[in-house]
Structure formats: structure tokens, C-alpha cells
Structure 1
């Protein structure tokens, strides 16, 4: 799920996966493996968002009240 969103933002920014890996000081293979497994920590997602000049927001929303936590 997050991997697809990262790919969408990369496309919108006209940036490559290799470019993002370099900006994060991650090896390309490590980044590609994380994308393949869709395995990112919240801290990593915040870092990715910062590099891509966007905001990462993680929260729970209650369906019946729309309260966010």
C-alpha cells in the first residue's frame, strides 16, 4: 500500500526510485527491497515525505464519528 503511494509521488515529482534512495543515503537494493515488501517504518515514511516535499500523515479515523487519532 505505501509502496504504491511512494511510486505515485515519485511519478508526480518526475523522480526515480534510484534518486530517492540516493537522497535518503540508502542503497538502491535496500530501497527496492523495502518497496517490494512494502516494509517502511513511520520514521522512514516521514523521511521520504520530507525528501519529496510532501507531508506524511498517519492516523486512525473512527468510521462512525470520523474522529482521528
Structure 2
């Protein structure tokens, strides 16, 4: 499972957050986020920021802090 697929699963689990809303929370343009998702091109720093805004931790996988589920 690629990182983009994991991010999309997290967006659904966190209340059907749109990619545009995720971009807003990350402080980046929607176009920039869409391009990164299209190429599945994220740095570890990017993934840490995504984890922070979605209320989970990132350790190569995402782990929901409230349920402990790993994605």
C-alpha cells in the first residue's frame, strides 16, 4: 500500500477530510498537495506534518493515537 493510499484512508477515518482541507491545514496550496499525491512524493518531514494535523504519529506507518490502529 502506497503512502497516498494511507493518507486517503486517514482522511476518511478523521471525518472525511478533503485533500483541499488537508492542504489548508498544512499551509500549502491545493495544487502543491495534489501534485505530491499524484507522484506519491512526500518527505519524512511532510509525513510528520500530515500526521500532526490528522492527530496521529508517523513511524513509517500511521498510528491513530486514540485507537492504536496502524495504517
State the TM bucket, normalised to the shorter chain. Answer: 0.7 to 0.9
Task: Indicate the structure with greater strand content.
Answer: 2
| TM-score with structure 2 setting the length | 0.79
Aligned residue in 1 for 2:21: 19
Aligned residue in 2 for 1:36: 38
Displaced runs of 4 or more, over 2 A: none
5+ long unaligned stretches in structure 1:
60-69
Instruction: Write the mapping of 1:39-50 to structure 2, written as runs, cut at 5 A.
Output: 39-50=41-52
Structure with the greater alpha carbon radius of gyration: 1
Aligned residue in 2 for 1:51: 53
Report how many residues are paired.
Answer: 59
Aligned residue in 2 for 1:10: 11
CA RMSD across the alignment: 1.2
5+ long unaligned stretches in structure 2:
62-71
| TM-score with structure 1 setting the length | 0.81
State the Cα deviation string for residues 12-62 of structure 1 (Å, max 9, x = none): 112110000000110000000000100000000000000000110028xxx
Distance 2:12 2:55 in 1: 13
